[in-house]
Homo-oligomer: A and B are copies of this chain.
C-alpha cells in the first residue's frame, strides 16, 4: 500500500507531499510522493492530509470503558472503592468483552495503535480476544489483587500468579507478536510481597514478558505503602523486583529524590497520565526532572472513568500545558518532546521494537488525519498542530502491523454501531451507576 500526504516521520522530520509505502507488516519506503509512486507504481494507493506514526497509549484501562463518567467530581478513594472497583467486580464475561471492545474501538478511532492495557482481575481472556479480533497492538495483563481488595476482586496469591501464567502461555506473542503480556499487579497497596516477588519471577521466566503497575499516584497510597513496608513506594517496588527496563510504572507523581535516582539507575519506564492526575486531583508528576535524568517517559490516558476519553491528542496537549503551568515555564515540555513521549517512548516502554516512527524497516503502524478543518487553519507547524490543536476526531485512517483497521473514518475490524449499542445497554444495567 502507498499512503500519501504530509508525512511526520518522527519529531524531527516532516516530509511535505510525501508517501509511506507498506508491504506486509513493514514500511518499505518513506519519502517524496512522486519518487515513491515511481518506485512502487502498482501499489494500492490512499491519501490523507497528514500521516503520522500511530500513538502509544502507555497506560490504559480499556475494560473500564462502561464506567465512563460514573464518578465524575468525586474523591479518589470514593471514586475507586465505591464506583470503579465494584463496577469491575460486577462485570460478567460478556460485559467485559463489550467494555474491552468499546475501549479498543475508541483507541483505534482516535489514532492509538499500541496500548499497554491494565485489564481487570477476572475475564481477561475477553479483552485479549477483543484486542486480537480488532487488531490493535497491545501489551495486556490481567490485574492481580491478593490483599486489600473489595469483594469480588480479592484472589489468593497462587490464583493471581497462576492465572497470569496461564494467560502468558495462551496469549504472549500471538499474532506475530502483536499481542504481548504484561504482568499487572494493581499497586503495592493491593498486592502482598509474595505476589510482587512472584511477578518478578514470572517475568524473568518468560522471555519478553513485562511488568506494568501503578505507582505513587496519590499521597495516601504512598503513605500506606510506607506504613506497611517502612519504605518509600519505589524503594519497596525495587526491593521486590519491580523496577528495571521491563517495568512500566504509571503515574509516579509523588516520588522523592532518592526514588527518582532509582528509577533512572534501573531504567524503569514511567507513564505520565496528565488528565487523570488532574481529574482525580492526584498532583503533577515531575516530568521535567524525569527527562533530565534520562528516564523514559511515555504518555497514557488512563481509563474513561477518570479522563473521560482515550484521545491521545487531547492527552498530548494536556501533557504539555500541565507542565508549563506547573513550572511557570512556557518552554516546558514542547510539542516535539510530547510527541516523542506519545510515540517512540511509549513503544519503548511497551517493549515493541521498530514501532513509533514512520521509518523504512519499521513496523507499519500509521495513522492518517484530516486537516481541512477550521481548528486546523492555519497550520504554521505540523508538530505543534498535532499536539495543541488536533483531536482524535481528526483521525480517518488507522493501520497496525500493515493491517488497515480504519479507512476514510470507517472502522473495518468491528461493527462500531453494534459495539456502542451493546455498551449502552450494558452500562445502563450497571448497578454501581449513580
Interface residues of A (CB under 8 A from B): 66-70, 72-76, 79, 102, 105-106, 109-110, 219, 275, 277-284, 307-311, 314, 318, 320-322, 324-325, 327-332, 334-335, 372-375, 377-381, 384-385, 387-389, 391-393, 416-417, 419-420, 423-424, 427-428, 433-434
Is there contact, CB below 8 Å, between B380 and A321?
no
A314–B390 CA distance with the chains assembled, in angstroms = 12
Given B279, B321, B392, B416, which contacts A279 in the complex, CB threshold below 8 Å? Answer: B321
Asked if A334 and B73 sit within 8 Å, CB to CB, the answer is: yes
Tell me which residues across on chain B come within 8 A of A106, comparing CB atoms.
374-375
Contact of A374 among B75, B278, B372, B420 (CB under 8 A): B420
- 12 pairs from A and B in contact (CB 8 Å cutoff): A68-B378, A68-B380, A74-B330, A79-B330, A110-B375, A277-B325, A279-B320, A281-B332, A282-B328, A372-B420, A373-B420, A381-B434
Q: Which residues of B contact A102 (CB under 8 A)?
A: 374, 377
A309 touches B389 (CB 8 A): yes
Please tell me if the beta carbons of B389 and A391 are within 8 angstroms of each other in the complex: no
Say whether A75 contacts B331, CB under 8 Å: yes
Residue of B66, B219, B330, B381 near A280 (CB, 8 A) is B330
Given A374-B105, A374-B420, A377-B423, verify A281-B327 contact (CB < 8 Å).
Answer: yes
A400 to chain B, nearest CB (A): 17
Q: Tell me whether B325 and A283 are in contact (CB under 8 A).
A: yes
Chain B residues with CB under 8 Å of A284's CB are 325
> Which of B311, B327, B389, B433 is within 8 Å of A380, CB to CB?
B433
* Residues of chain B within 8 A of A324, CB atoms compared: 278-281
Cα distance A428–B377 in the bound complex, in angstroms: 11
From residue A156, how far is it (CB to closest CB) to chain B in Å? 33
Q: Closest CB-CB distance, A337 to chain B, in whole Å? A: 9
Q: Which residue of B lies closest to A106 (CB)?
A: B374
Q: Known contacts A79-B330, A331-B74; is A378 also within 8 Å of B281 by CB? A: no
Give Cα A322–Cα B329 distance, bound, in whole angstroms: 16
Copies in the complex: 2
Q: Are A379 and B278 in contact (CB under 8 A)?
A: no
Q: How far is the CB of A57 from chain B (nearest CB, A)?
A: 14
| B378–A66 touching, CB < 8 Å | yes
Q: A278-B324, A283-B328, A330-B75 are in contact. Are A424 and B377 (CB under 8 A)?
A: yes
Cβ of A340 to closest chain B Cβ, rounded Å: 14
One of B110, B331, B380 near A73 (C-beta < 8 A): B331
Write the chain B residue with the least CB distance to A108.
Answer: B374
On whether A420 and B377 interact (CB within 8 A), knowing A321-B275, A335-B72, the answer reads: yes
Residues of the B chain whose Cβ atoms lie less than 8 Å from the Cβ of A391: 391, 393
Closest-CB distance, A98 to chain B (whole angstroms): 10
For A74, list chain B residues within 8 Å (CB).
330-331
User: What would 5 more interface pairs be, CB under 8 Å, given A73-B330, A106-B375, A281-B329?
Assistant: A68-B378, A69-B384, A69-B389, A79-B330, A309-B388
Q: Which of B72, B320, B334, B428 contacts A384 (CB 8 A)?
A: B72
Q: Are B372 and A325 in contact (CB under 8 A)?
A: no
State whether A281 touches B73 (Cβ < 8 A).
no
Q: Once the chains are docked, how many angstroms separate the CA of A309 from the CA of B314?
A: 12
Q: How far is the CA of A73 from the CA of B330 in the complex (A)?
A: 6
Q: Write the nearest CB–CB distance from A95 to chain B, whole angstroms.
A: 12
Q: Does the CB pair A330–B374 fall under 8 Å?
A: no
Q: Could you say which residues of chain B place their CB within 8 Å of the CB of A428? A: 378
Q: Is the CB of B72 within 8 A of A308?
A: no
Contacting residues, chain B, for A283 (C-beta < 8 A): 325, 328
> Do residues B375 and A311 form an inter-chain contact, with CB atoms below 8 A?
yes
A76 to B325, CA, bound (A): 12
- Cβ–Cβ contact A378 & B325, under 8 A: no
A388 and B308 contact, CB distance less than 8 A: yes
CB-defined contacts of A310 to chain B, threshold 8 Å: 375
Known A325-B322, A423-B378, A424-B377: A330·B76 in contact at CB below 8 Å:
yes
